Amino acid sequence: MSKTEPLGGKILTRPFLFLSLLALIAAVLLLVRFVYGLGVVTNLNNGYPWGLWVALDIHVTAAIGCGGYVLAVVVYIMNKGEFHPLMRPALVGSTFAYTLASLAAFIDIGRWWNFYQIALPWNINLNSVMFEIAICMGLYTLILWIEMIPPILERFSLQKYMPAFKKSLFFIIPLGIVLPTMHQSGLGGLVVAAGDKIWPFWSTPWISLLFLVSAIIIGFSIVIFEGSMTAMGLKRPLELKEFKRLSGMLVWVLAFFLVVRFADLLYRGALGPGFQDITRSVSFLIETGLFVLPLLILIVPSFRASPRLLFLAAASCVLAGAMLRFNSLIIGYQPSAGYVYFPSLMEIMVSVGMLSVEIIAFTYIVKRFPILPKHDTAAKSEITVSPPEVPSGSAA
Partner 1 sequence: MDIKRRDFLKAAMAGSAAAALPGAAEARPNLEPPPNAVGMLYDATLCIGCKACMVGCKEANDMPIENADASPIWDVAADTSGKTLNIIKLYRDGTAEQKDRETDGFSFVKRHCMHCVDPGCVSVCPTTAMRKDPETGVVTHHPEACIGCRYCVWACPYNIPKWDFEEAFGQIAKCEFCNHRLVEGQLPGCVESCPTGASLFGTREQMLAEAKKRLAQEPGSEYDYPRYTLEAEDTHVQEVPHYIDHVYGESQGGGTQVMVLSGVPFSKLDLPLIPERAFAATSETIQHTVYKGFVAPLALLGGLMFITRRNMKKEEETESAKDESGNG
Q: Scanning residues 55 to 94, which ones bind partner 1 (CB under 8 A)?
A: 73, 76-79, 81
Identity (one letter) of the amino acid at 362?
F
Q: Is 255 in the site for partner 1 (CB under 8 A)?
A: no
Part of the chain binding partner 1 (CB under 8 A), chosen from 30-38, 143-151, 282-290, 347-355? 30-38
Site string for partner 1, 304-333 (x = CB under 8 A): -----------------------------x
User: Which residue number, 49 or 237, has a Cβ lying nearer to partner 1?
Assistant: 49
Part of the chain binding partner 1 (CB under 8 A), chosen from 90-98, 128-136, 218-226, 319-327? 128-136
Identity (one letter) of the amino acid at 68?
G
Using CB under 8 A, which of 277, 335, 352, 375 touches partner 1?
335
Ramachandran class of 198: left when φ > 0, alpha when ψ lies in -120 to 50, beta otherwise: beta
| 367 Cβ neighbours under 8 A, 6+ residues apart | 6, 7, 8, 9, 11
User: Which residue number, 131 or 303, has a Cβ lying nearer to partner 1?
Assistant: 131
CA-CA distances (angstroms) from residue 322 to 91, 166, 288? Answer: 20, 35, 12
Q: Give the binding-site size for partner 1 (rule: CB under 8 A).
A: 73
DSSP-assigned letter for residue 392: S
Minimum Å distance from CB 389 to partner 1? 6
Contact predicate 94/63, CB 8 Å: no
CA-CA distances (angstroms) from residue 182 to 56, 142, 215, 229, 303? Answer: 19, 15, 12, 29, 34
Q: Is 393 in the site for partner 1 (CB under 8 A)?
A: no
User: Which residue number, 197 or 385, has a Cβ lying nearer to partner 1?
Assistant: 197
Q: Is 273 in the site for partner 1 (CB under 8 A)?
A: no
User: Which residue number, 109 or 312, has a Cβ lying nearer to partner 1?
Assistant: 109
Q: Is 205 in the site for partner 1 (CB under 8 A)?
A: yes
Minimum Å distance from CB 79 to partner 1? 5
Q: Is 263 in the site for partner 1 (CB under 8 A)?
A: no
Contact predicate 328/203, CB 8 Å: no
What is the footprint of partner 1 within residues 156-175 (CB under 8 A)?
Answer: 169-171, 173-175
| 364 Cβ neighbours under 8 A, 6+ residues apart | 11
Minimum Å distance from CB 40 to partner 1? 8
CA 370 to mean position of chain CA atoms: 22
Part of the chain binding partner 1 (CB under 8 A), chosen from 36-44, 217-225, 268-276, 340-348? 36-44
Part of the chain binding partner 1 (CB under 8 A), chosen from 14-22, 34-42, 223-231, 267-275? 34-42
User: Which residue number, 316 or 327, has a Cβ lying nearer to partner 1?
Assistant: 327
Q: Is 30 in the site for partner 1 (CB under 8 A)?
A: no
Q: Is 340 in the site for partner 1 (CB under 8 A)?
A: no
The values of phi and psi at residue 117, to 5°, are -60, -30
* Dist. CA 141–CA 58, nearest whole Å: 13
What is the four-CA torsion angle of 106, 112, 114, 117, rounded to 10 degrees? -20
Using CB under 8 A, which of 66, 92, 182, 323 touches partner 1?
182
CA 13 to mean position of chain CA atoms: 26
Taken as a whole, the chain contains a residue count of: 396
Q: Is 121 in the site for partner 1 (CB under 8 A)?
A: no
Using alpha carbons only, give the angle 157, 161, 164 rounded to the nearest 5 degrees: 155
Q: Is 144 in the site for partner 1 (CB under 8 A)?
A: no
* Dist. CA 63–CA 222, nearest whole Å: 9
Minimum Å distance from CB 216 to partner 1? 11
Q: Is 239 helix (H, G, I), strand (E, B) or coil?
A: strand
User: Which residue number, 177 or 222, has a Cβ lying nearer to partner 1?
Assistant: 177
